[in-house]
A and B are shown apart, each in its own frame.
Chain A
């Protein structure tokens, strides 16, 4: 075995996930050196690396505790959702500034009841009242679903869809997980403080960041992108203190669902454009189907893949 061949094998082994490389890299090299590898072995190594990355990505390797993921989401989800109230706060601030708050029509803030209920849920989870919080979370989701039929001037937007998805997952988490008390043990006070800071930063981005800029030929709402970047970054930071890193990463991913829906909507509307996004089935798949599939896969819920071991 020449040094060149060994270097080539090491380069291929470098494609493997870091934990696997550290645990088995030298061992695999030894096996390869014993078996006089050819080009098929090289291809086989690449295939193995892809398979292991996919297993890590989809959480099929048993490293994710789904109950803990839901416990963290049950605690931090209601706090994160408060970010979505910024639109209504902006309206209230504008009318207050112009001295017309008393005359502000309620149609300016049609979704205010949703965020008001989520504010109650946030308070309840901080006091560890899981069951009551679950009831209010479902109530908030129902109100969220009913609003478009009751408020004639309010239409679904990508933001609302992302927040509704997170709201539904949070209600499920509060109903069927160990609850916010367990979540608090996992993320600690630091996780809660970081989440609240994330909400504050994301709201500030929405209110104060510059609006439209052109990236090439595509318009970009800078303030919205900053909101969702802050959300995704804050979710990662808040979940970093979860002892099991994979569980923490999955929880962060679920909390960042509105950012996923936002990015998908941007691709669908701005880049792909009509007529594709006019088709309701396409829109539902992009905005609901893909994020839900990612969450299920990311948390190892789609386990039949594993059962064919």
Chain B
């Protein structure tokens, strides 16, 4: 557990799992939707991130299914992962608030 900023793919994967368990392809779609199409994760990046997140106990395997003869594994956010995501959200919110305050002052002062 650390206070360092999360990389964007990690943040988006955790966010995708915050609402409930997702399988690999489901996470890719969810990340694309959350980022309004700006971030499109690929399988290599996703599974490298999942490998690290599972090792850190932020994400765990929820269940497995076989669909059309292929294994489909669902992942869920752990309590530890949820706490880490909440910390990151607080950090981003504080940064955003500070930026908003300064921008408002700048625009109010007519220096924009």
- A is bound by B: yes
Which residues of A are at the interface with B, using a C-beta cutoff of 8 A?
20, 24, 26-35, 37, 40-41, 44-49, 51-52, 55, 61-63, 306-309
A-B contact pairs, 29 of them (CB 8 A): A20-B47, A24-B47, A26-B71, A27-B72, A27-B73, A28-B43, A30-B67, A30-B71, A30-B72, A31-B46, A37-B42, A40-B42, A41-B43, A45-B42, A48-B43, A48-B47, A48-B48, A49-B44, A52-B48, A61-B51, A61-B52, A307-B2, A308-B4, A308-B5, A308-B7, A309-B4, A309-B6, A309-B53, A309-B56
Which residues of B are at the interface with A, using a C-beta cutoff of 8 A?
2, 4-7, 10, 23-25, 28, 42-48, 51-53, 55-56, 58, 67, 70-73
CA distance A147 to B107 in the complex (A): 72
Are A27 and B42 in contact, CB atoms less than 8 angstroms apart? no
CA distance A307 to B110 in the complex (A): 42
Per DSSP, chain A at the interface is helix
Nearest CB in chain A: distance from B83 CB, A:
14
Contact of A37 among B43, B53, B56 (CB under 8 A): B43
Closest to A12 in B: B44
Are B72 and A41 in contact, CB atoms less than 8 angstroms apart? no
Q: Contacts A30-B25, A55-B51; is A62 near B56 (CB within 8 Å)?
A: yes
CA distance A45 to B47 in the complex (A): 9
Are B44 and A30 in contact, CB atoms less than 8 angstroms apart? no
Closest to B41 in A: A44
Are B28 and A31 in contact, CB atoms less than 8 angstroms apart? yes
Q: Which residues of B contact A34 (CB under 8 A)?
A: 25
Are B24 and A48 in contact, CB atoms less than 8 angstroms apart? no
The 7 closest A-B pairs by CB, nearest first: A48-B44, A44-B44, A44-B42, A30-B70, A31-B24, A62-B55, A45-B44
Contact of B28 among A35, A40, A48, A308 (CB under 8 A): A35
